[in-house]
Amino acid sequence: MSATEVHTNDGGTHTVPEVSAETELSKDKIFHLLQTPRRRHVLRYLKGRDGTVEMRDLAEQVAAWENDTTVQALTSDERQRVYIPLYQSHLPKLDEEGIIDYDQSRGTVKRTKLADQLDRYLSVEAEETDHEEIGREPPWEFYYLGVSTFSTIVLAGAVLGIPVLATLPSVAIGAIIIAMFSFVTLAQFMSGWTAREG
C-alpha cells in the first residue's frame, strides 16, 4: 500500500496510507467514522452531488440541518459553529481515511468511491430519522376522541335534562360541537402543511 504526505495546519506534514476503492472498511472503522451526526450530514450531502463541491456550501447545508432551518435563515453564529469544526476536524478526518478528497487550501470537497461503503448506513439513519419525525406528530386520534367524548356528554346531558345543559338551545350545542371538530381539523391540517413546507 502506498502512502501520501499530508500537510497539517501547523506547517508540518505527516504520512497517511493511501486507501483504494477496493479497500474493505471494517465495521469498527465505519462506526467510528459515522459516530458524529455532523460527519453523517457531510456524507449525506455529498452523496447527492457529483464532482467537487465548495466547502462553504457544504458547511451551510450541514448547519441548516443541525439548526432545523434553511440555509437562507442561518445566522452567522450558526454558520461558524459548524464551519470551524468541519474545517479543522471532521473533513480532515474523512480525508485521512480516504472517504473524501478535501483540498483545504481551495476549500473544496469531493466524495470518493470508498464512501459507497457507508451509504447503506446513511440510508438506515435517514429512515430512522423519518420515523422519529413521524413519532413527533401530535396524537390526533386522541384529540378527536376527546372532542367526540365531550360532544357525547354534552348531548346526553341536554337530553337527560342536566340543569346547565338543558337550558342551552339546540343550535348552541350544535355550534359548540361543530366549532370543536373544526378547530381540531384545522389544527391537524396546519400541522401537516407546516411539516411539508419545513
Local mean pLDDT, 10-residue blocks, the chain (198 residues):
50 51 79 88 88 92 91 91 91 92 92 87 57 56 89 90 87 91 88 61
Q: What confidence score (pLDDT) does residue 140 get?
A: 79
Q: What confidence score (pLDDT) does residue 134 get?
A: 42
Q: What confidence score (pLDDT) does residue 128 get?
A: 47
Beta bridge partners of 7: 13
* Cβ(83)–Cβ(59) below 8 Å: yes
* Cβ(54)–Cβ(41) below 8 Å: no
Q: What confidence score (pLDDT) does residue 2 get?
A: 38
Q: What confidence score (pLDDT) does residue 122 get?
A: 79
**CATH-assigned architecture of domain 3-135:** Orthogonal Bundle (1.10)
Express the helix, strand and coil content of the chain in percent, nearest 5 each: 65, 10, 25
Written as nine digits, the cell of 125 is: 439513519
- Ordered by start, the domain boundaries in the chain are 3-135, 140-197
